[in-house]
């Protein structure tokens, strides 16, 4: 018995050593530099993800090892603008990797724009929803954004310079903005000064997804076992479910109410309410297109909030904080806004068209999404049949490759030696060719082949909100000691990455200008 066990142990050890030698010496990616443990097991990348610092870790990896780094036996990350178009460009054959299995079902009847692998189906769905999210179409609903912005400005004026948790407040503003433009009403989070724990719950979803996506087979087993246990009333495994967010339940309630109203109107031959918002636009558009499945209309409506509020909230927070921390930048924006206002080119509640004519404001938004993009991990893609040549390495089909916006957007060859600094002027002083290159490498809203359909809506919300805020206020970022007094001893600033990058413990003071 003892010799049998010894034989098994020795065989296992020799097998493991042989496999390790293969991974380090004979594997197709063996020559790609990177941490030793990363080349031997994917658990190294899982561990790095669990630290919630992958955006910073991958930045340091590239600065240590170069433009191509091996981060698991079959995965490399790349920081070279030359390959953005090849991997993420329109019609790229590099499809989304298995990491995206965790973000939802992808059968024939579902709409899952983030995780869909079938590019023909994805292209159809993007063509169907595209007209709804064009800038001209969104401008017809722009007026719905103005009430939430006005409420926030009024709320901050009443606080009389009291410290404010900027991330909390921008999440609240984003929730009300997106809900108002979708349904012509909102849960009034701004008035209630709460987001009903939506931010905490969506963070829990991403925290689970971002590392379990690295182990897709484990994820499949996890979901199966979890569902089996729930049949018997056993909730043994925590499974984050974005459908349980209170804001998602609010959306479902709104959609259900409108569907019931339409049914009653049809049965009684009366005219239903004539809504004028994104939800009604989506419903009318879907009804006019036989290839637009009925359930897709509800899904894309839910996507507006489920995929948008925390990313919009974080970008608003980052823009305000970057400008406030850089007095010369805040002063430059104030000067631009005042000049436009004094020449009657900017309303007290700015119109989107007016904000597009404000170059420093638009440069500040571009610089925010460059320096602190919401996505903090390499966006994984699978190498297509035939393989790929990347920076002199022959990468076989089936391997995973990706580029991290946090790394790519700080490339000094493109953005200059001060790429780690917030400087909106870089976009204003660059030549047309330089600006084109800077814009071409941006992954702030994903690559061209899979870009976020809500991008135009996000820019409208960002432009109107930031213009309105800085017209009215001078913003001051509180120091660390004052932050601790606001939120308790032991608490301070922290930055976490779980696919999306979130800030915590950033407090500001809104001082009304002219007082």
Can you read off the two tokens belonging to residue 101?
């299995």
Burial class (CB in 10 A: 0-12, 13-18, 19+), 451: middle
Burial class (CB in 10 A: 0-12, 13-18, 19+), 302: buried
Tell me the H-state helices in 22-103. Answer: 36-40, 43-50, 54-65, 84-88
Q: How far apart are CA 153 and CA 255, in angstroms?
A: 30
Sign of CA dihedral 372, 445, 212, 236: positive
- Res 123 pLDDT > 60: yes
44 strand-pairing partners:
none
Q: Which residues are annotated as a binding site for heme?
A: 452
- Res 106 pLDDT > 70: no
Beta strands at 400-403 and 75-78: parallel, antiparallel or unpaired: parallel
DSSP state of 374: S
pLDDT at 240: 63
Q: How far apart are CA 122 and CA 124, in angstroms?
A: 5
pTM, whole model, 2 decimals? Answer: 0.92
Short-list 36, 71, 79, 74, CA closest to 54 = 71
130-179 confidence digits (pLDDT tens)? 889 999 999 999 999 999 999 999 999 998 889 999 999 999 999 999 99
Short-list 99, 41, 55, CA closest to 400 = 99
Can you read off the two tokens belonging to residue 305?
């909030």
- Res 98 pLDDT > 80: yes
Least confident of 126-140, 182-196, 220-234, 291-305: 220-234
Interior angle at CA 8, CA 6 and CA 14, nearest 5:
100
Burial class (CB in 10 A: 0-12, 13-18, 19+), 235: exposed
Do 170 and 317 form a contact (C-beta atoms < 8 A)?
yes
| Residue 128 Cα distances to 114, 132, 297, 451, angstroms | 16, 8, 10, 15
- Res 101 pLDDT > 90: no
Domains of the chain (ranges plus CATH)? 27-109+379-403 (no CATH), 111-375+442-512 (1.10.630.10)
Q: How far apart are CA 327 and CA 335, in angstroms?
A: 12
Q: How far apart are CA 17 and CA 335, in angstroms?
A: 66
- Res 127 pLDDT > 90: no
Interior angle at CA 426, CA 420 and CA 427, nearest 5:
125
Mean pLDDT of the chain: 89
Number of H helices, E strands in the chain: 25, 12
- Res 511 pLDDT > 70: yes
pLDDT band at residue 236 using 50, 70 and 90 as cut-offs:
low
Q: Which residues are annotated as a binding site?
A: 452
User: 80-115: string of b/e by CB count within 10 Å (b at 16+)?
Assistant: bbebbebbbeeebebbbbbbbbbbbebeeebbbbeb
SS3 for 476?
strand
Sheet strands (E) in 105-261: 164-165
- Res 442 pLDDT > 70: yes
- Res 241 pLDDT > 80: no
pLDDT at 188: 93
- pLDDT-above-90 percentage for the chain: 60
Helix (H) or strand (E) holding 512: strand 507-512
Q: In what order do the strands lie in the sheet with 164-165?
A: 164-165, 507-512, 473-477
User: At 389, phi and psi to the nearest 5?
Assistant: -100, 120
């Amino acid at each position: 018995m003892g010799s049998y066990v010894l034989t098994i142990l020795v065989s296992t050890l020799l097998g493991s050593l042989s496999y390790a030698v293969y991974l380090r010496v004979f594997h197709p990616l063996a020559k790609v530099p990177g941490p030793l443990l990363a080349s031997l097991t994917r658990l190294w990348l899982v561990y790095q993800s669990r630290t919630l610092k992958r955006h910073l870790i991958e930045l340091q990896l590239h600065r240590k090892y170069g433009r191509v780094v091996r981060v698991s036996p079959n995965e490399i990350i790349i920081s070279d603008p030359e390959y953005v178009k090849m991997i993420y460009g329109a019609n790229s054959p590099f499809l989304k990797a298995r990491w995206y299995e965790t973000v939802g079902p992808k059968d024939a009847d579902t709409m899952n724009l983030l995780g869909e692998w079938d590019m023909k189906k994805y292209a159809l769905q993007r063509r169907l929803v595209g007209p709804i999210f064009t800038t001209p179409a969104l401008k017809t609903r722009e007026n719905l954004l103005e009430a939430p912005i006005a409420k926030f400005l009024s709320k901050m004026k009443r606080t009389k310079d009291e410290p404010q948790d900027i991330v909390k407040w921008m999440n609240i503003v984003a929730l009300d903005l997106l809900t108002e433009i979708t349904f012509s009403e909102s849960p009034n989070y701004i008035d209630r000064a709460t987001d009903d724990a939506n931010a905490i719950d969506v963070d829990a979803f991403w925290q689970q997804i971002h590392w379990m996506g690295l182990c897709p087979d484990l994820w499949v087993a996890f979901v199966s076992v979890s569902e089996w246990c729930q049949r018997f009333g056993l909730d043994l495994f925590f499974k984050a479910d974005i459908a349980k967010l209170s804001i998602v339940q609010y959306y479902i309630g709104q959609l259900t109410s409108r569907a019931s109203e339409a049914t009653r109107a049809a049965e009684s031959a009366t005219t239903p309410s004539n809504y004028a918002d994104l939800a009604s636009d989506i419903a009318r558009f879907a009804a006019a297109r036989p290839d637009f499945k009925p359930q897709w209309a509800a899904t894309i409506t839910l996507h507006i909030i489920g995929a948008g509020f925390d990313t919009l909230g974080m970008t608003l927070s980052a823009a305000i904080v970057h400008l406030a921390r850089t007095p010369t930048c805040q002063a430059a924006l104030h000067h631009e806004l005042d000049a436009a206002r004094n020449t009657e080119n900017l309303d007290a509640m700015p119109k989107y068209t007016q904000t597009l004519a404000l170059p420093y404001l638009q440069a500040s938004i571009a610089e925010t999404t460059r320096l602190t993009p919401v996505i903090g991990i390499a966006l994984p893609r699978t190498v297509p049949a035939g393989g790929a040549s990347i920076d002199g390495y022959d990468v076989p089909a089936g391997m995973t490759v990706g580029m991290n916006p946090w790394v790519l957007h700080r490339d000094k060859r493109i953005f200059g030696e001060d790429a780690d600094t917030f400087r909106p002027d870089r976009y204003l002083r660059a030549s047309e060719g330089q600006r084109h290159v800077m814009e071409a490498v941006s992954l702030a809203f994903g690559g061209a082949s899979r870009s976020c359909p809500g991008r135009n809506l996000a820019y409208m919300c960002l432009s109107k909100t930031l213009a309105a805020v800085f017209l009215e206020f001078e913003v001051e970022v509180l120091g660390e000691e004052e932050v601790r007094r606001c939120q308790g001893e032991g608490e301070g600033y922290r930055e976490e990455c779980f696919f999306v990058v979130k800030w915590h413990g950033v407090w500001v003071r809104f001082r009304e200008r002219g007082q």
